[in-house]
Structure 1
Amino acid sequence: MERPLLVYTTLPDTETALAIGEDLVREKLAACVNVLPGMASVYAWKGVVERGHEVVAILKTREELADALSAALKARHPYETPIILHLPVSGADPDTAAWIMAETGGAG
C-alpha cells in the first residue's frame, strides 16, 4: 500500500492557512490540514536575521501526490520562497492510512 506523507509549511496567518488548506482538501490533494497558530520564528532571509509571527500547517497526504500538492501549495502561497518540506511517514495506524488514501483518491 502507498504510504502517507506529511507536508510541513509555514504561512503568515491563520486565515490564509485555512483558505489554502480548504482548497487543497477540496481538490483531494490532502485529506487534512492542521493549522497551528502562534508560532514565533527566527530565520535568515537574504543575509539578514529576521523575526516574525507565523502559523504552521501540516498537510496529510500520500506519497504519490507529493509533487502535485507541492505545486498547488506553491502556486497559492503568499511567500516568495515558501517552506515546503516532505516528511516521510515510516509507519501509520492502518485505519489512518486508509482514511488518507480514501480522501485523496488513492486505493486503500
Structure 2
Amino acid sequence: MSEAHTDAILVLVTAPTADKAAELARALVEEELAACGNVVPGLRSIYRWEGKVHDEPEALLVLKSRAPLFEALRERIVALHPYQCPEVLRLDVAAGHAPYLQWIVDNVRATRAE
C-alpha cells in the first residue's frame, strides 16, 4: 500500500443549510482554493453563543486543500459566509493515498513557495 507524506489539509466549516454549504464549496473550488468540498447535511449543532445555548440544524462542509493556501481559503470563507463568526478549522493530513494527494495538488492554485 502506497502512502505519501503531504501538505494536504482538511478544513471544516459549518453552514446554516446544505445549500449554503454547497454554494460555499462551489465558489472555493471554482477559485481553486479547494480541490473538493463535501457537504454533509443533517447536523444538529448545540453550542453557546452570546451567553445562550442554541440547538440548531446545520450542514458540515469538508474541504480538501493544501497548507500554503489555508490563509487565503480562510479569508475567502469568512468573506462569503453568512455567520458573524464562522467555524473554519484546519486539520493537517499526516499521510494518505499518493494518487489522491497528487489530485489535490493538481486541482488547487500553485503557491509561491513551490
Alignment TM class, shorter chain as reference:
over 0.9
- TM-score by length of structure 2 reads 0.90
| 79-88 vs 98-107, greater mean Cα deviation | 98-107
> How far apart are residue 20 of structure 1 and its match?
1.1
RMSD: 1.6
1:43-58 alignment to 2 at 5 Å?
Answer: 43-58=47-62
| 8 Å CA contact retained: 1:2, 1:63 | no
Unaligned runs of 5+ in 1: none
Moved over 2 A (4+): none
Aligned length: 108
| 8 Å CA contact retained: 1:61, 1:100 | yes
> How far apart are residue 3 of structure 1 and its match?
1.1
Alignment-derived partner of residue 60 in structure 1 = 64
Percent same amino acid at aligned positions?
36
2:101 to 73, 97, 102: 97
Q: Distance in 1 between matches of 2:84 and 2:14?
A: 12
* SS state at 1:92 partner: strand
> How far apart are residue 105 of structure 1 and its match?
2.9
Letter of the structure 1 residue corresponding to residue 108 of structure 2: T
Alignment-derived partner of residue 31 in structure 1 = 35
Alignment-derived partner of residue 44 in structure 2 = 40
- TM-score by length of structure 1 reads 0.95
> How far apart are residue 106 of structure 1 and its match?
3.6
Q: Distance in 2 between matches of 1:64 and 1:7?
A: 13
| 8 Å CA contact retained: 2:6, 2:94 | no
